[in-house]
Homo-oligomer: A and B are copies of this chain.
């Protein structure tokens, strides 16, 4: 059996930064060559970033991707890396480069993987299974590929596949078995969801068995608007053995030696092998595409396998972490990359002393360092002393830039000139705070963060253009009960490391309140958050209806009240800031509901 040293480049690319992404490929390819690798694999759409959305309709964008791929192949050879096989994702199109507007927008676009070798684009493969659920709209953007590409490299047959190909039975992996390949390289841009890493490993094992081949799975890492990619790259043998696995939310080059079967001089076993039946519940949200048998295209690059140098390369197996640690890393990286990739120097937000803004403060400080974080206390006449004390305490613990802007003079100016009462006065206070934060943003250049959690966003417990102002919301997909868990975890983690817990204990234990009228607490308007979050998880994440929720044991009147609040708050969510997705269904492109919607479950039909 020949040995192949494989490197998985779990790295961060930026949407649209084609030159910067190409430079990253050259940098990490050099590192892979220095480690003696024969092949290095980069993530899906490495050259363009992912997802590029409607940029794919612009011919100039697709032409830039194609041109950059050819230039990259030449540059790698010029760098002395011509004998390294570099697998890289990019966007391609059928036919000649569509540089003129005559080309039909969107037609013939491909989510592609290329293998670069010897200064050339030696082989290409087009993604076969296109996800069109959740946050994905790939049927809108791409044509599916209908053939498998197999590259003979150092005596091993290597098949190229892309992301969703792995999540569906049949298609490329069944074709890989027919082709008798030794290795399948699967390049990914697979967004983070809590617990998705467990699902991923079992899927890679299942597909490895199906293909009868080792799978090298590489995923991108980094934040892109609503999404954060967690890496979690790995190599699994046909027998289901996990050989090596990268961490989550880390940039790293995973290098591992593989003993792989020698490619036969003719293709695989005789005749087609039918795909195994799809396992029940395998990928429930995914429509099963009718798989015709895929053609197999074969390419040979290089000659005999180079002998391995420098002793064996063994990638480690990164330890799994707790849910809270995983989510904290997701939120920190998501915020960091939104700030960095959009060119902001600093962030600003209102620090009330409550739990949400305290957790946002801790995330921001972890992501950016305290000197890039501005927190503003904006007390009103209804703000409690403990709120201000807790905010100041957090500022002291974290070292962020802490300021005070009392709102009462501005609130009074409105009240003196308009006849307002009740809810209008409550919202006015929140909106004056919003104006203050936006003024600081305009004056000093900070990105404004909004701090509403998923539970509040679900039921509309926020003031539009008030506490909802901001360009990014780190807690957008974090239920209130998880906000508390994160706070406790972060403090305990600090203590464990011998550092100072950033979040004042009082912010964690006190009853949550918006403090917009005397003595107000959230429980005046909302059920207990444990109960609320359970109903919301069923209704939003699970698409359960009223009857399902009642059958699950929830109070009928409460279910009716919560569902109505969620439905009526859709208009607020439509104008909400983006924030990092961590759940199976986040608000945003993941969940698309009409604002105008009179469906009320439980009403007579």
Residues of A within 8 A of B (CB): 14-20, 49, 51-55, 57-61, 64, 67-68, 71, 99-101, 104-107, 132-133, 137, 139-140, 143, 223-225, 284-285, 287, 337-338, 341-342, 405-406, 409-410, 412-414, 416-421, 423-424, 427-428, 431-432, 434-436, 438-440, 442-443, 464-465, 469, 471, 542-548, 571, 574-578, 589, 591-601, 603-605
| Residue numbers in B under 8 Å from A405 (CB-CB) | 417-418
Cβ contacts under 8 Å, A421 to chain B: 443
In whole Å, how far is A184's beta carbon from the nearest beta carbon of chain B?
27
**CA–CA, A406 to B104, complex, Å?**
52
Write 5 A-B pairs (CB below 8 A) sorted by A numbering: A14-B596, A49-B594, A100-B548, A414-B436, A431-B438
Asked if B53 contacts A605 (CB within 8 A), the reply is: no
Within 8 Å CB of A52, what residues of B? Answer: 594
Q: What 8 pairs across the A-B complex have the smallest Cβ distances?
A: A60-B545, A16-B599, A413-B413, A424-B442, A17-B598, A16-B598, A424-B443, A139-B139
The CA of A20 and the CA of B61, in the complex, are separated in Å by 47
- Which of A20, A547, A596 has the largest number of chain B CB atoms within 10 A? A596
Complex Cα distance, B431 from A597, in Å, reads 30
A101-B544, A434-B465 are contacts. A599–B18 as well, Cβ < 8 Å? yes
The answer on a CB contact under 8 Å between A53 and B439 is: no
Interchain CA distance A599-B65 in the complex, whole Å: 11
- Nearest B-chain residue to A465, judged by Cβ: B465
Q: Looking at the assembled complex, report how far the CB atom of A42 sits from the nearest CB atom of chain B, in whole angstroms.
A: 18
Closest residue of chain B to A442 (Cβ to Cβ) is: B424
Q: For A423, what are the chain B residues with a Cβ–Cβ distance below 8 Å? A: 442
List the B residue with the shortest CB-CB distance to A142. Answer: B287
Given pairs A224-B596, A418-B436, A438-B465, 16 additional interface contacts (CB within 8 A)? A15-B594, A16-B599, A53-B592, A101-B542, A105-B285, A106-B287, A107-B287, A137-B592, A409-B417, A410-B410, A410-B414, A414-B436, A431-B435, A575-B575, A578-B595, A589-B592
Partner of A439, one of B19, B106, B132, B424: B424
- Chain B residues whose C-beta falls within 8 Å of the C-beta of A342 in the assembled complex: 595-596
Closest to A139 in B: B139
Residues from chain B with Cβ under 8 Å of A338 in the complex: 596
Could you tell me if B137 and A601 are in contact, using CB atoms closer than 8 angstroms?
A: no
Given known A225-B595, A285-B105, contact A57–B543 (CB-CB < 8 A): yes
**Docked pose: A80 CA to B195 CA in angstroms:** 57
Closest to A108 in B: B287
B59 touches A106 (CB 8 A): no
- Residue in B closest to A104 when the chains form the complex, CB atoms: B284
